[in-house]
Amino acid sequence: MKQSTGRRVLVVSVIGLILGLPVLFGVLLKKSVFGYKELPIYTTDEMGISVPYSVDEFSLIDQNGKTFTRDSIGDRILISNFFFASCPDVCPIINGHMKIASQKLENSSDVLFLSHTVDPYNDSTAVLRAYADKFEVDDNQWKFLTGKKSTIYHLARDSYKAVIQEVPDTNDFIHSEKIMLIDRNFQVRGIYNGMNFSEVMEMIVDARFLLKTYKDQSAIKEDE
């Protein structure tokens, strides 16, 4: 499929009150209060009630043309981001960091990587297949997802609280450079700057910690 040669990516570095403050709060909570005894659950205030960031049910298509839903995740934790295949600079860097994370966690079958295109009109399954091949992904570990624009943008804005929008009269997108860590209850437990390698390394540590937490909880239940 022919793609626009004039496309460029506009990336929001500071998400602002919607995303920035919860990130700061989460880091302080995790490091100073719990001392890595627990990861924060990111929330938004809705009329005085704290509501967790939660991934809604969805149905999309992966790089092999197969339907992928929230039920397809099973008991795995998620590492998710947003991108588009023709993005010339930022997206390849972030997905390069995702690749490193996938290699660091390749022995953890309970971790699934999801990359959602914000340009589903151009990012067909064939395009995503070629893009995935560039990163030599393990299809069982890392899914590149396309589908209805309304579904993807709903996930981005309402579930992950990421900034996703089109720039009027252009082929450009404004989208978050963040990578999100999601637990088995589909709640956001970590938000990281995908352009910052040290934060990506922190994400890997947090993912391992979350997996250890589930393992410990399972061991306790078996002993009861």
DSSP tag of 170: S
Q: Domains (ranges, CATH) in the chain?
A: 10-223 (3.40.30.10)
Residue type, 155: L
Instruction: Answer yes or no: are the C-beta atoms of 123 and 117 closer than 8 Å.
Output: yes
Q: For 51-93, what is each residue's pLDDT tens digit?
A: 888 999 999 999 999 999 999 999 999 999 999 999 888 999 9
Catalogue the E-assigned strands of the chain.
9-12, 43-46, 49-52, 59-61, 67-69, 77-83, 111-117, 142-145, 164-166, 173-176, 178-182, 188-193
144-179 as b/e, with b when 16 or more CB fall inside 10 Å? bbbbeeebbbebbeebbbbbbeeeeeebbbebbbbb
pLDDT confidence band for 119 (50 / 70 / 90): very high
Q: What percent of the chain has pLDDT over 70?
A: 75
| pLDDT value for 75 | 94
Q: For 139-174, what is each residue's pLDDT tens digit?
A: 999 999 999 999 998 998 888 887 655 544 444 455
| pLDDT value for 224 | 59
How far is Cα 78 from Cα 165, in angstroms, rounded to an integer?
Answer: 23
Q: Which residues pair with 28 in a beta bridge?
A: none
Tell me the pLDDT of the chain averaged across its residues. Answer: 82
pTM, two decimal places = 0.80
Q: For 93-112, what is each residue's pLDDT tens digit?
A: 999 999 999 999 988 899 99
Instruction: Answer yes or no: are the C-beta atoms of 66 and 168 closer than 8 Å.
Output: no
Cβ neighbors of 47 (< 8 A, separation 6 or more) are none
